[in-house]
Amino acid sequence: MANLKTVLTRFAAAFPGDILTVTSADIDGWLRGLDVSAKSRNGMLICVKVLFSFARSHNCLPAEQMTAAEQIQRARIKQDDDVAVFTPEEMTRLLHAAPPHLIPILAIGAFTGIRMAELNRLDWSAIDLQRSLVELRAGQAKTASRRIVPVSDNLRAWIEPLPRTGKVVRTPALHREVTALARALGIDWPRNVLRHSFISYRIALVKSADQVALEAGNSPTILFKHYRELATEDQARQWFAILPKDGQ
């Protein structure tokens, strides 16, 4: 019951309006934007389904229709070593199709590997373009320890033209917009795909699990086990050469 209350409190904060206006795409985008495992996401979906069933039983939703929550399928639970990444071509399509307000999530996620939960806590003041680094303070990092992540040349090209004050992610709704953009382009959005992509391509480029472990806030053992040889050096060079198109 405590978990139900916690999940529904978070859901209510994300969707403060009339329950009738919440669509299955809204719910799916919200769930995909959370930094949780597929198993946890499925548990949260159950809680949301309870809410919608309760609303229907109290005549707040049409009795003869499936609720928006019931239309969503459970997330497929992958094996621990099943890591999905974007190809450089897919990432290029996403970034070139993205409106400016979605560029920070996509570009910073793809070219620094920062976790979505960490990105949600990040302020633009932590991104130092003069020194080409992102500083994750102890209170922002998942591991509760300070971490420095380099800013690649192509990341600089993406974020330098943007307004850089306040929170990097101003509202959780942006995560739903990002996954909706991917769906519109016919691109699947596996859990943690931006982080997985960065780590895979970064290891292929620098050839050092120890270095990437420091940048990603993970252990070299985990990186070596799950990310080794997922990408070639040529693919990695393509990944870190993705630049804005003219006029973007």
Percent of the chain whose pLDDT exceeds 70: 90
Eight-class DSSP state of 129? T
Residues 176-209 have pLDDT tens digits of 999 999 999 999 898 889 999 999 999 899 888 8
**CA 13 – CA 27 distance, rounded (Å):** 13
Please tell me the predicted confidence (pLDDT) of residue 64: 86
**What domains are there in the chain, each with its CATH number?**
2-57 (no CATH), 88-239 (1.10.443.10)
Q: Whole-number mean pLDDT of the chain?
A: 88
Please answer whether residues 158 and 103 qualify as being in contact, where contact means their C-beta atoms are separated by less than 8 angstroms.
yes
Check residues 10 and 137 and name the one with the higher pLDDT: 10
Q: How far is the C-alpha of 239 from the C-alpha of 39, rounded, in Å? A: 30
Distance CA 176, CA 16 (A): 15
26 closest CA partner among 52, 1, 57, 3: 52
Name the strand (E) or helix (H) holding 147.
strand 147-150
